[in-house]
Amino acid sequence: MGNWLSVNNTTYMSEKPWPRDGAQRWSTFELYPSWSGERHNVYEGLSYAKDDTYTETKREVVVKTKSHLPIDWTSYLDCHKEATTLATRFNRYAAHLSGDKIRFADSVISPICDVSDIMKITKLLGLITMNLHEDDNVLVEEYLKGNFLHFLSKWGEVRHSKCELLEAFAHFTHHESHGQLVVCNLKGIFNNGCFSLTNPTIHSSTGQFGSKDYRTAGISEVYRNHCCNFICNGLGLPRKNNEEKN
């Protein structure tokens, strides 16, 4: 930081490149969150590739910062990585059954470089409770622009009428992993035949996917709530219907 007041919050360059364009990125983000939850807050921002401070590589992003409860960004990214691998396989198998596809948002971890001086002053005046600190790690993620919907709950309950593909995907992840995990809590946008999703939950037998991973109890509950549809049947997944619920 120089002698001038810093207006924006900024991050350092991400250590790892963005999955989609392979570029390391730094970001600048708003003073106040657009959404606040128990585990993280969401700020809107802009991201730039290394050495580019202008517009060529500009992307709209959201910057997620920790809130009241602890959050582990490594587990968050592990969930995205595992879900992306399974979605890529699922898209290939289900291509003849549905024209739509599933993907998960690009995201990277970056440390905060500058907390805006305006935020610091506002905090001194007692107008906000600021919980951003320089060098804290934040998650910078592709901005999912559109009608953001929660399609499937963390227990596999259907929250939206048009999500047969996502229900079949959850069943597919269970079958493909030989019952060792299930990907659920599917939320995001649907655009041009593609579900772009963020922050899924994975329940696993090993409990390796962070604090939202309810292990075998989570796997059983999602499976209990699942009811097969034509895509499950078309993929040859073991049939599961409502009569089997108990």
Give the binding site for Zn ion (CB under 5 A): 171, 228, 232
- Closest residue by beta carbon to Zn ion: 232
**Which pair of tokens denotes residue 168?**
């079949």
Q: Quote the least distance from Cβ 50 to Zn ion, whole Å.
A: 44
Q: Quote the least distance from Cβ 235 to Zn ion, whole Å.
A: 8
Interatomic CA distance for residues 230 and 240, integer angstroms: 12
Report the residue number, 11 or 173, with the smaller CB distance to Zn ion: 173
Report the residue number, 133 or 239, with the smaller CB distance to Zn ion: 239
Q: Quote the least distance from Cβ 242 to Zn ion, whole Å.
A: 11
Q: Quote the least distance from Cβ 227 to Zn ion, whole Å.
A: 7
Report the residue number, 8 or 91, with the smaller CB distance to Zn ion: 91
Q: Quote the least distance from Cβ 177 to Zn ion, whole Å.
A: 14
Report the residue number, 145 or 239, with the smaller CB distance to Zn ion: 239
Report the residue number, 2 or 238, with the smaller CB distance to Zn ion: 238
